[in-house]
Structure 1
Amino acid sequence: MPTYNKLVRDRIPEIIERSGKKYTTRVLDQTEYIKELKKKSFEELEEYTNAENDEEALEELADLLEIIHALAENHGASIEKVEELRKYKADKRGGFKEKIFLIEVEH
C-alpha cells in the first residue's frame, strides 16, 4: 500500500472508499495542520510552475486559492479580509501588471 503522509482535501477519503480501496487517516492537531498547509502550498505552487498549459495552470491556481482560504481562516480572517489587504497594498505599492523588473538601485 503506497504511503502518502500528506494533507488532502476533505472528500478524498470518501472518493477512495467509493473506489473500493482501504485507507488510513488521522486528524491533525492545529500545529500540524498549519505546518501541512504550508507544505501543501509549496507543493501546489510547484505544480503551478510546472503546468504546461493555461488549463493546468488555472487548476493549480484554484488549489493554491483553496489553501489561501484555509490559511486565512486559520489566522482568524476571511478571504475578504485577505482581498482587502491585497487591494490596500496594490493601492500603496502597485500590483504586478506592468511587468516591471528591477535591475539595481544606486546607493
Structure 2
Amino acid sequence: MATDIVIAQTTIDDEARAQRLARGAVEERLAACAHVDAPLTAVYRWKEGVETATEWRVSYKTSRDRLPALAEWVARTHPYQVPEWIVLPVVGGSAAYLDWVVRESGG
C-alpha cells in the first residue's frame, strides 16, 4: 500500500548547518518534520579520490505534492556542489501520522 508521503534525505558536514536545513524546511512548510541524525562517517569517491568525512543526515517527512518545492529549496540552500538527495517512498504507517504529515507540510 503506497502512500502520498515520502522521506527525503540529505547530508551535511556540520551539525549547526544540519539544524538550519531541518528547521528551515519545516518553517517554510516544505516538510512536516525533519530529523537530524547523530554524526556518521561517510566514505565516498570525489574527484578521482576516496574521501572520508563526518556528516549529519537530515531526513524530511513530506507529501509527494511538496517534494519538488522541498528539493528546489534544499538545492538552493545547501552549500555542497553536489548534495546528497535521496527520496524514499513510505509504503504504510499510522493513518493519523500520515494525515498529519500531509497537513503540516502544506500538501
Which one has the largest radius of gyration? Answer: 1
Which has the larger helix fraction?
1
Larger relative contact order, structure 1 or 2 (CA cutoff 8 Å, min sep 6): 2
Which has the larger strand fraction?
2
TM-score (normalizing by structure 2): 0.26
TM-score (normalizing by structure 1): 0.26
